[in-house]
Chain A
Amino acid sequence: MNLFFEEKKHVYWNPYFGGFLLGIIILSAVYISGRSIGAGEAMKDTVVASIDMVAPHYTENSNFAAGQKDAEKSPMNSWIVFQVIGVFAGAFFSGILNNRVKVRLQKFPKISSKTRITWVIIGGLLFGIGSQFARGCISSSTFSGFIVLSLGGIISMVTVFVTAIIAAYFFRKLWV
């Protein structure tokens, strides 16, 4: 039994099958609720909600936070936050089934944990700031590009990809 699980650990689905299923899920999300996917929004809602909790005057006075805050309800009630809770649970379930749940730091074996953590923090900061400028993280802009054909979404998707290909050269020691 153990051997069986051990073998399954690195076996993933056929990417075209996974992609097709994801497409169908997005279609049903759009059909039923009129919304797509994107985790960056949930993080933003959480940040805005936290600022609101600690300093409610700030969100009222700051143009940005006030614009993001739904006047009717708490940001933590937003659709996307619930969706991310679901993503977390779904991923955990898949991890359990495939024996991939384990507390660890994943990194390229030739770099130290310290190097990995430093670049993860820098990457996260860049993402946090960048996703606000671009009005969406990669997944939300990709799908607003694909679904509603938004010019901004497509420009964002292509720019992220091209930048990453160029940046890959400078970061090669971290990965290969």
Chain B
Amino acid sequence: MESFISTGLINSEWSSVFAVGIGGAIGFVLESSGFSSSRKVAGTFYGYDFTSLRVFLMAGITSLIGLLYMDFFGWIDFFSFNIPDTYIWPTLLGSIFMGVGFVASGFCPGTSILSAAIGKLDGWIFIGSTMVGIFLFTILFPLLEPIYNAGNLGAITITDVLGLSSYVYAFIVTLIVIALFYLATLIRRRKTTVKY
């Protein structure tokens, strides 16, 4: 993955050390929050456990609001980020594949690593089959290339499309996320407890 910004704070030698450290913190927090359990993650789609939804959205708004503050304080330049190009058709197609794969397995690549780390065999199997999937994609790429490059809208952001400032957008997203938290609580109350 290319970096969003080049901060020049650390050189390339230290970058790997820092990567392991950041990864360790992420792994610890996610495992402690319950992401290593596929049944807990799948609970989001059946209404018996919204932990993963809450953690993810909370992290999302924290980072969004935090970055806007960091930009405000002049620590980073929020508006100089490299925006990845949006390829509308392959994004939709790939996301539908991932949505089905998510419910079929209860994993996304990140949670499968957490599961594998605490000894769950299904996590290891998922990692293996994901790599096979990527391998198949690479092999079939000449055939898939027209789809892969279809519908390039360029480096477009949601705020360009909606015509809102980033601050207004962050405020609206935060309200939506809080509404989702509340909705999740309402749904959760009506479901019986599932033990796992």
Contacts and interface: CB of A to CB of B under 8 A. Distances in A.
B63 A137 contact: no
Nearest to A87: B27
Contact of A19 (B55, B102, B118, B147): B55
Interface string B3-27: 1111101100001101111111111
A117 B125 contact: yes
Chain B interface, DSSP helix/strand/loop, else mixed = helix
Interface string B52-67: 1011111111111011
A148 B82 contact: yes
Contact of B113 (A26, A84, A101, A165): A84
Chain B: number of interface residues, binned into ranges? 35 or more
A12 B1 contact: no
Residue of A37, A102, A146, A167 contacting most chain B CB atoms (<10 Å): A146
Given A124-B127, A128-B133, A101 B95 contact: no
B104 interface: yes
B78 to A, nearest CB: 9
Contacts of A104: 119-121
A146 B114 CA distance: 23
A128 B130 CA distance: 4
Contacts of A128: 129-137
Contacts of B113: 39, 84, 87-88, 91
Nearest to A166: B99
Given A91-B27, A124-B133, A107 B122 contact: yes
A129 B137 contact: yes
A31 B75 contact: yes
A139 B30 CA distance: 12
Chain A interface, DSSP helix/strand/loop, else mixed = helix
Interface in A66-114: 77, 79-80, 82-95, 98, 100-108
Interface string A18-61: 11111111111111111111111111101110010000000000
Contacts of B102: 123, 127, 138, 160, 164, 167
B84 A135 contact: yes
Nearest to A21: B29
A168 B48 CA distance: 13
Contact of B76 (A31, A95, A116, A176): A31
Interface in B118-177: 118-122, 125-138, 141-142, 144-145, 147-148, 153, 155-161, 166, 169, 173
A6 to B, nearest CB: 14
A160 B125 contact: no
A174 B39 CA distance: 10
A155 B95 CA distance: 9
B70 interface: yes
Contact of A132 (B3, B94, B153): B94
Given A128-B134, A134-B98, A25 B125 contact: no
Contacts of B196: 108
Contact of B141 (A64, A89, A98, A141): A64
Contacts of A51: 135, 138
Given A80-B19, A134-B90, 5 more contacts: A22-B26, A89-B20, A106-B122, A151-B156, A156-B98
